Homo-oligomer: A and B are copies of this chain.
Amino acid sequence: MARHRDYTKIEQIFESTLKLVLEKGFAGLKMAEVAKEANLATGTVYIYFKDKDDLINQLYLFLKRRKTILFLQGIDQKEDFDIVLKKIWFAYFEVTMQHVNESAFLEQYYRSPFLKSNVKEESKQILKPIYDLLERGVAEGKLCAVNVEILLSQIVGPIHEMIRAYHDGAVEINAESMNQLYQLVMKGIKA
């Protein structure tokens, strides 16, 4: 129900849910465990969330928002396009790395049947600043005149793939390899 009563409890529940989902997957997520992990009674969770489904969907939005705020922090869109893009790219990389768990969750559940379509839409809305930036890049003739969705996936996809590879032990991540990837990516999308 109301989501303004005790914000601390909500965050506790979110953190517990995230932890448990990452540990045991969504299928293994039990409401009683979420509650226990958050030092709450089972019923309490149902005061803040209608049901399990609602909890998952809310958590998704919560994490999406948090991540976006983090990597847009301190970005000044009025700066030179190339600089903004570079800053955002590295910021996104670092935030994704530092919050692998959340990112894994976000990726894993974006296309799962748990997420309701309105949540997906809201989730896209959150990325609006990025879409705007890319459109500006195309308008300024800095990027290939390609669909923005494609551009975004070209920018973001490789980051995810590299971090995946890193966690599979396939690659190292350091200033050099990050730069290397950045060069590759830019080579691909620059006009």
Contacts and interface: CB of A to CB of B under 8 A. Distances in A.
Interface of A: 2, 23-28, 41, 43, 104, 107-108, 111-114, 144, 146-147, 149-150, 153-154, 156-158, 160-162, 164-165, 168, 170-171, 177, 180-181, 184-185, 187-189
Given A2-B41, A27-B27, A41-B2, A184 B144 contact: yes
Q: DSSP class of A's interface residues: helix, strand, loop or mixed? A: helix
Count the copies.
4
Given A25-B113, A184-B189, A147 B161 contact: no
A108 B112 contact: yes
Contacts of A158: 150, 153-154, 157
Given A24-B113, A25-B112, A113-B24, A150 B154 contact: no
